[in-house]
Amino acid sequence: MIDKIEAWRCIGCGKIEAPQTCIGVCTDRKIELVYAADHERLLAELYEQTHSLEKLVRQLATITPRQGEWESSYRALQARARQYLSAQRHQTEGEQPQDGL
């Protein structure tokens, strides 16, 4: 989980103040901030996930099985999808996947 910093942001001038509100001159709304490094790390992870899914979808959209081979093509795509899901589960648990996905 990414650590968040709670702060106050003025809806008029946009100033950000933490951890207390101002002396009453501005109208503040509570906001949540994250560290830029955490944000960048999460963006990189999401890019990797998106790229992997895009590869799988591109294969599904562009591969035409030979006559009578639709089932083996489908099974191969299923296996790739399972590898992707397994890799995602391992990343969520903080482990490295075995198959390099």
Q: Is the pLDDT of residue 68 over 50?
A: yes
pLDDT-derived band at 79, boundaries 50, 70, 90? very high
Per-residue pLDDT for 101 more than 50?
no
* Predicted confidence (pLDDT) per residue in 6-59, tens digit: 888 888 888 887 766 667 777 777 888 888 889 999 999 899 889 988 988 898
What is residue 28's predicted lDDT score, i.e. its pLDDT? 72
Q: What is the pLDDT of residues 80-99, one digit of tens each?
A: 889 888 888 877 776 554 44
Rounded to whole angstroms, the Cα distance separating 82 from 63 reads 18
- What is residue 85's predicted lDDT score, i.e. its pLDDT? 86
Burial of 25 (0-12, 13-18, 19+ CB in 10 A): exposed
Q: 11, 34 in Cβ contact below 8 A?
A: no
Q: What is the pLDDT of residue 43?
A: 92
- So what's the pLDDT on residue 95? 53
